Amino acid sequence: MPPAKTSYVCLPCRASYKQQYPDLYDRDRARPCPRCAEPLIHVGSAFAAPRRRDTAGWRTLAVLLHAGIRFHKNCCGGGPGYRPRTLAEVRERVAYARATGEPFAQALLRPELP
């Protein structure tokens, strides 16, 4: 059976790569992008990349990644849960976080706003 793979992203190149999970001795090694040699960001195995021409989708993804949100599967085999897909959804959740004092990353993960 082939080894399990997970997704890595290069934001400047707008590219996603499937690579093997890092082993215990390889976790701290930065994986370089094959195109620009910048370090790749580990996003998780439940990640679906936007199309390269979708600038709004990549900007939304950049906001999520800089907030520390990743796309890992949960223990029951399901997906990562709700993630905003548009900049409008991100703006709504940022405004909600500012108004209520809720942490930014937690507000981004809310499926619905009260």
- Please list, residue by residue across 62-97, b when 16 or more beta carbons sit within 10 angstroms of its beta carbon and e when fewer do: ebbbebebbbeeeeeeeebeebbeeeebbeebbebb
Q: What is the pLDDT along the chain (114 residues), one digit of tens a residue?
A: 567 888 999 999 999 999 887 776 666 678 899 999 999 999 988 889 999 999 999 999 999 999 999 988 766 666 677 888 899 999 999 999 999 999 999 999 888 888
Q: Where are the beta strands (DSSP E) in 15-83?
A: 15-20, 41-44
